[in-house]
Amino acid sequence: MKIMVTTAGTVPAQRKADYLINIAEKVGAELLVLHVVSSQDEYDDGQNALKIYHRKGGISKIRPILRVGRLTDTIAKTAQEENVNLILLGLDERGDMNSAISRDVIAKTEIPVLLVPNIK
């Protein structure tokens, strides 16, 4: 099984990363961690954001992916290319399950999407 999660911002929360890794471990899934930047200028920030998942060195089923592109298009395209079974998306800061990002990703893919509440 492959689960894809997305990161946001320059440094995602360690607690959220631990939570997502724990989910993948419990079901024996490979965890693909996708960070999307809108331009090549933001590439270094994207690499820094993914480092939080590198710290879990003993877990071999984590694969960070950094892509440049439009956020929702890139999420859907990457999920398709990687043949993932599930996409985990975090709710926005307000906990809005009906955010534009969630709606757009769901509309662009037939892969199941699970919305995860914010973990602080």
Structurally, how many domains does the chain consist of?
1
pLDDT value of residue 57? 47
pLDDT value of residue 117? 77
pLDDT value of residue 47? 85
Of 7, 61, 11, 14, residue with least CA distance to 34: 7
Query: Domain holding 27: CATH number?
Result: 3.40.50.620
Look up residue 38 and give its two tokens.
């809108």
pLDDT value of residue 60? 61
pTM, 2 dp = 0.85
Q: Could you identify the residue written with the tokens 């757009």?
A: 104
The whole domain housing 53 covers 2-116
Separation of alpha carbons 67 and 71, rounded Å: 9
| Regions of the chain short of the pLDDT cut 50 | 57
DSSP conformational letter for 109: -
pLDDT tens figures, 43-63: 888 888 888 776 554 556 889
